[in-house]
Amino acid sequence: MAEIIWSERAIKDIEQIANYIANDSVRYAQMVVQRLFQRPQVLINNPHLGRVVSEFNIDTIRELIDGFYRIVYQVDSSKETISIITIHHSRKEFLNL
pTM over 0.85: yes
Share of the chain above pLDDT 70, in %: 96
In this structure, are residues 15 and 90 in contact, taking their beta carbons and an 8 Å threshold? no
Q: Mention every residue, 6+ apart, whose C-beta is less than 8 A from residue 52.
A: 58, 59, 61, 62
pLDDT digits (tens, 9 = 90+) for 68-83: 999 999 999 888 999 9
Give the CATH superfamily of 3-89: RelE-like (3.30.2310.20)
Boundaries of every domain in the chain? 3-89
CA–CA distance, 48 with 63 (Å, rounded to integer) = 9
pLDDT digits (tens, 9 = 90+) for 35-57: 999 999 999 999 999 999 998 89
In this structure, are residues 88 and 69 in contact, taking their beta carbons and an 8 Å threshold? yes
Once rounded to an integer, what is the mean pLDDT over residues 23-42?
97
**CA atoms 27, 28, 33, 36: torsion sign:** positive
